[in-house]
Amino acid sequence: MTWKDLLGERVPTALGREIDTYENQIALKRLGKIDDKVFAETRLRRGAYGQRYDNGQRNDGTGVKPLPFPSNGQTKGPDTIWDAPGMQRIKIPFGGLTTAQMDTLADLAEEYSDGVCHITTRQDVQLHYVHIDDTPSLMRRLAAVGITTREACGNTVRNVTACPIAGVCRDETFDVTPYALASMRFLLGHPDAQDFGRKFKVAFSGCRDHACGLVNMHDFGAIAVTRTTDGVEQRGFEVYIGGGLGAVPHEAKPFESFMSEEEILPTLQAISRVFARLGEKRNRARARVKFLVAQLGVNEFRRLVREERDSLAADERWTAYLNELPRYGEQALKTGRPLEDAGSSAYQTWSRTNVYRQRQPGYAVATVSLPLGDLSSGQLRGLADVARRFVGDTVRATVEQNIVLRWVRESDLPALHSELEALGLARPGAATIADITACPGTDTCKLGIASSRGLAAELERQLAKQIDALEPAVRELRIKISGCFNSCGQHHISDLGFYGVSRHVGGHVVPHFQVVLGGKWVENGGAYGLAIGAIPAKKIPDVVRRITGRFVEERRGSESFYDFTIRIGKRALREMLEDLTTVPPHEVDTAYYSDWGDPREFGIGDMGIGECAGEVVSLTEFDLAGAESQVFEAQLQLEEGDFGHADTLAYGAMLQAAKGLIKTEFVDISDDPDQIVSEFRTRFFDSKVFFDRFAGGKFAQYLFRRHARSDPSDDASATRRLIEEAQLFLEATHACQARLAGQLPAAPPPTSALPPTERPS
């Protein structure tokens, strides 16, 4: 008996056929009949990801050691060992889950994963430590409850996100849920959305002001609006295009102020065709829509899309779902009734932050605040039961890694709280500074540099203890943390953002976080912050205390945190953190040399450094410090609106960092930019010494591109991007320097052919 046999017709035919094909591809790959890259994209398009250490290497705290998986050289992608555990991403459109789906996810976590379900910042669910051989059964069991993992990853349309309180929100223009659902169904597997160079992300928001939909950071973002024509109200969307976070974030550009609801799907199709035709395919680092929009200009992009739209053959699916809209809507399980009982003090604390009154009288939304987005199988199964009793059949995952129960009768709230408490799911402080978003970071992500989850857990622990004592203006702030610059933790759009970097200190590598300020969570992620400096990971709680403390002390009236940081300015903010940048020597305090929640020594610091090398390293470090100052000064000039000067400084920072690196081989390098770039290209780029194991030579291209341009830019967005690029170039230089000094490993070959070490028990 197999799951395929047992589930039979419960698996929809089309989904079953797709999974059969996927299973055949696994078999063919095992026979060596599918190319590594092709198979990698195949599994990625079904949400089956690689995970940290799947290259067969791990730093155990004493050095990088091989992990001898028994795979006999079998791989599931380039440098990805077959038997290494992976991550399964499960697409949950707009975060909407039924109770039956929750039960199944709980089962799958127990049987194939580690007993934990993780909610992501895109309303997905992720299971970690999954063996690829288990993925076909896992997918069939999901399909049996109406979930597909198709296009959960790869160069596809990713999960379509939407406000988790759509339909019950007091401020929304209208419920965007059916539009998100229709977009997902229309684009899933659509032939015009299969040939992208990179992923494509879509979001719907019910209003402009709140953060729920985060339209500003999406490739295609739509905000619900209406207009009245000849006395008739018409639904439509204010559409934004070309947004995205990642290493170099772009704010979305206005595409159309009113796009009628009938035009949403054909426009998405037209954009898909333009993106597939003109988007970058070879250079992944510049393949998102944001780069195409930046390259063409939004006006030309719009013209091309409209031209494409006009040439499309009509498709009845564009509008068929609109006929169902009048009948769309969730049914409340119980008749609404106001709250009569004040409840326990624990309930009152919880309700202050975790309860939102719906626009429908007598009903509320209750937020189940999940630490680090995690809940155990038992908790998820218990939550499904609670949902059945209190709200009916559905819940929604949120981009803040929580779950909301909608349509709770207000009079039931104390009882609901009690039941959540019994499950360990009544954590107060939802949507506060203690409810931190974090990407997986070094826990499981191959690209993680520092432990975003470790830091988030520590900050949550410290902040939760004092949450009631915090000033309301501080309590409402958001902290978001990424393990690297790629911004999966959305650090750019946070009040206090952090992303992981490393620094080379006295022969050791020390985990640090860049402090990102100036971001806006509200207004759909309305502004992106910039890094003001790297602080040792162990000092980040002090950063939070100092900055929030100063905000409380110096706040003017009802000034927002964003306005406060702008008024104070980055120079002053950086100055107040300056002393925190100091790392005591290893022999004085080893705590700085390991990450939060992980006792391993960070990196490998046991390699001796000769006097000569030490001197050269000192020169290099001097240049790197100078480069850091220049890039920070560039931010200040950007803030003051002197874009040309900011551009020149960012460029200068890259030159100085490159020069520092060149000094490890050629001390007499001049200050001539042409010579610096030429020497850098020969010694570090052509030789691939500078290459990142995942990003290749991407960061070096930032320097080359800017060097090829003689005049500084006077455009705010372009300058801002250059500063981001300069910061990334500096990080890559730090990493390269550490590799040269022997503190970080060079990209090693896979070791999958090594024999297993099973011993008899």
Partner 1 sequence: MNVVSSAPDLANLQRIAIKVFVSADSTITARDVIPVFHRWIQTGAVNGLPIDVANYSHLPTGPCVLLVGHEGHYVLDRTEGRLGVQYNRKQPLEGSLADRLLSVTRHVVRAARLLEADASFSTPVRFLGNEVEIIAQDRLLAPNSDETLVELRPALDPLLTRWSGNTDWTVSRKSDPRAPFRVAAVTKATDTLENVEARLFESNNY
258 belongs to the binding site for partner 1 (CB under 8 A): no
Q: State the binding string over 585-624 for partner 1 (x if CB under 8 A, else -).
A: ------------xxxx------------------------
Per the CB < 8 A criterion, the answer to whether 272 and 315 are in contact is: no
Candidate list 57, 177, 216, 376; residue touching partner 1; CB under 8 A: 376
Candidate list 374, 393, 523, 642; residue touching partner 1; CB under 8 A: 374
Task: Give the shortest CB-278-to-partner 1 separation in angstroms.
Answer: 42
Task: Give the shortest CB-300-to-partner 1 separation in angstroms.
Answer: 48
551 belongs to the binding site for partner 1 (CB under 8 A): no
- The set of residues, in sequence order, having a beta carbon less than 8 Å from that of 414 and lying 6+ positions away, is 339, 341, 343, 344, 347
Task: Give the shortest CB-711-to-partner 1 separation in angstroms.
Answer: 50
Q: Is 49 helix (H, G, I), strand (E, B) or coil?
A: strand
Considering only the stretches 18-26, 61-69, 350-358, 631-639, report the one whose residues sit in contact with partner 1 under the rule CB under 8 A.
61-69
Q: What angle do the packed helices 452-466 and 540-554 form, to 10 degrees?
A: 40
Helix ranges (DSSP H) in 83-129: 99-112
Tell me the backbone φ, ψ of residue 696, rounded to 5 degrees: 60, -130
- Region for residue 525 given its phi and psi (left: phi exceeds 0; alpha: psi -120 to 50; beta: otherwise): left
End-to-end CA distance of the chain: 31
If the CB atoms of residues 64 and 667 are measured against partner 1, the closer one turns out to be 64
- What residues between 426 and 465 interact with partner 1 by CB under 8 A? 443-444, 453-454, 457, 460
- The set of residues, in sequence order, having a beta carbon less than 8 Å from that of 311 and lying 6+ positions away, is none
Per the CB < 8 A criterion, the answer to whether 620 and 660 are in contact is: yes
Considering only the stretches 376-384, 477-485, 544-552, 623-631, report the one whose residues sit in contact with partner 1 under the rule CB under 8 A.
376-384
104 belongs to the binding site for partner 1 (CB under 8 A): yes
B/e letters for 468-498, b = 16+ CB within 10 Å, e = fewer, are: eebeebbbbbbbbbbbbbbbbbbbbbbbbbb
Parallel, antiparallel, or unpaired: how do β-strands 86-90 and 125-130 relate?
antiparallel
Residue type, position 595, single letter: D
Task: Give the shortest CB-378-to-partner 1 separation in angstroms.
Answer: 5
Candidate list 20, 41, 103, 419; residue touching partner 1; CB under 8 A: 103
- Region for residue 758 given its phi and psi (left: phi exceeds 0; alpha: psi -120 to 50; beta: otherwise): beta
60 belongs to the binding site for partner 1 (CB under 8 A): yes
If the CB atoms of residues 85 and 525 are measured against partner 1, the closer one turns out to be 85
76 belongs to the binding site for partner 1 (CB under 8 A): no
61 belongs to the binding site for partner 1 (CB under 8 A): yes
Task: Give the shortest CB-668-to-partner 1 separation in angstroms.
Answer: 44
728 belongs to the binding site for partner 1 (CB under 8 A): no
DSSP letter at 681 equals I
Task: Give the shortest CB-114-to-partner 1 separation in angstroms.
Answer: 6
If the CB atoms of residues 280 and 374 are measured against partner 1, the closer one turns out to be 374
- The set of residues, in sequence order, having a beta carbon less than 8 Å from that of 574 and lying 6+ positions away, is 532, 533, 632
- What residues between 124 and 153 interact with partner 1 by CB under 8 A? 128-129, 131, 144-145
Per the CB < 8 A criterion, the answer to whether 664 and 617 are in contact is: yes
How many Å is the Cα radius of gyration of the chain? 26
Task: Give the shortest CB-372-to-partner 1 separation in angstroms.
Answer: 6
755 belongs to the binding site for partner 1 (CB under 8 A): no
372 belongs to the binding site for partner 1 (CB under 8 A): yes
Task: Give the shortest CB-426-to-partner 1 separation in angstroms.
Answer: 10
756 belongs to the binding site for partner 1 (CB under 8 A): yes
Tell me the backbone φ, ψ of residue 642, rounded to 5 degrees: -90, 80
Which residues sit at the interface with partner 1, rule CB under 8 A? 1-3, 6-7, 10, 52-53, 58, 60-62, 67-70, 83-85, 99-100, 103-104, 106-107, 110-111, 114-116, 128-129, 131, 144-145, 371-372, 374-379, 381, 423-424, 443-444, 453-454, 457, 460, 597-600, 756-759, 761
